[in-house]
Structure 1
Amino acid sequence: MEKSNSNSKCPSHLILLCFLISSQFWGFSLPTSIIQQHLKGFKDHVDGRVSKPREDGFHEIHCSRERSRVAWKIIQEYLMPYVEKERYQLPTTCRVHRDNDIYREQEEHKVHSGINEWRCGFCKKAFYEEKYLDKHFDSRHYNLLNASHGKCLADLCGALHCDLVVNTARLKSKCNPAAAAKNRHLCESLANSCFPVNKGPSANRLHDFFLRQFCDAHTCSGGSRPLSKKPKKRGKLYIIISISTLIVLLLYYSFVYLFQRGLKRGSQELKRIRRNGLKKKPF
């Protein structure tokens, strides 16, 4: 039923779009922004990812924001450090590219200024929890979403092992060979599109790394461990200890230097006093 209702909207969009375009030929000066807006609306309905607004004012988008956030976290932690190390530029056709995340612009406009304070970077409105800010984005800044096909990072969760990261441990459910083969195929297609082996040595190395890091574990025969390679990051505690140690050493050597300098100056003054205070013996 829902699908048929969505399709019934397309003819009305198409008729209105034809009217707007034909009006240009009859001399009416309609703003091009109106035409572009209806073009986008028609494209979104045809694509099937965006449906009509709900009664509560929220636009329903068939892409999980939470799983997209997990997928982005995996990409940033387990892939991008190696891409940056190789100084490799991801092609825009790569689905893990920043521009291919429907929620990326909104996520980058989240300001987390405290434990219970989240702020919208667009209108500066504050919220107590992140989920309320997400709802605010869905209702107030929906026009910033690019809901075209291939922009949902949550669709890549099977290849990127999102469930493993969410549960923080390997799932104990029985392995499904068909699901594993599907995820492996998706994973290998990502490796081929993001790191074509004919684009140079860096792309070739990253292609092999992507297969080992993500794809080889998609098997029911006990493959390699997924997400096994992660760059070592020095924690804040290590940095604080290092800075504190440097400050203590600086103070210690400064004290030793000043103490030794004070001893030398004191010994010189004692020698001068002794020389000046001696009286000559009478003959």
Structure 2
Amino acid sequence: DIPSFRIAGFEVPLLSVYAQAANLHLAILRDSSIFGARWGLTTINVNENYNRLIRHIDEYANHCADTYNRGLNNLPKSTYQDWITYNRLRRDLTLTVLDIAAFFPSYDNRRYPIQSVGQLTREIYTDPLITFNPQLQSVAQLPTFNVMESNAIRTSHLFDVLNNLTIFTDWFSVGRNFYWGGHRVISNRIGGGNITSPIYGREANQEPPRSFTFNGPVFRTLSNPTFRPLQQPWPAPPFNLRGVEGVEFSTPLNSFTYRGRGTVDSLTELPPEDNSVPPREGYSHRLCHATFVQRSGT
């Protein structure tokens, strides 16, 4: 019973289960409209099930979209931590709800009589590699919700493919700690020319720029974000070092390393689609862009 999965007041927590149940129900109705005569159903029964299928495609898709939007709209949108919560819910519901609902219209076997394979080209965002701790920093130093949303999330755009990533290295003078200071992305649209992004962060030059041309999908990153206190010369107070000191980018054929491999694995947030094969074959997502948000005052 599909209504059991949209209990008033619990629509958002139940939405992933609702999408799975709706998907199964639509698949059964589609099969009955295709094979109903072989199952012994009358023409009237087959047509009734097809009409139910069409009605429920709209009903289920609308509920998924409306509840997704309502869940996000009900969240607070003020602080940096609000944005982390918001982006996680957006990402999780995209993976477990919207990605499923996107295929509901394809169950209309009379509109789409030939079996087809759909592809998703939406964009989702992992957590920031560098996290800010409200317990250790004043609120004024932290990016606000609006700063995160406008700087970390790209505006709507056509599907593009990552070709090249150039990383600029900066450093903390205390102890000569090098870190990712900024970058530039070069991508292209299918059948189109290169698109060069503006420089994110700072075009630092403490080391020669590292340019990576991937020639294949980057399906995994292993990052090395750092957070440790540094003692500055007296009388300056201790300083908390935050930065990305290295990243390994993996494609099905090669790995590309910026300064060093880390342990923060992108597959933790975006697990493979097929775990029966190596990640280079069973991956579910590919890197398409990288953005950059700076802390206030830096």
Which TM-score bucket, shorter chain as reference? under 0.3
TM-score (norm 1): 0.19
TM-score (norm 2): 0.18
Greater Rg over alpha carbons, structure: 1
* Bigger proportion of residues as strand: 2
* Bigger proportion of residues as helix: 1
Query: Which protein has greater RCO, CA pairs closer than 8 Å, 6+ apart?
Result: 1
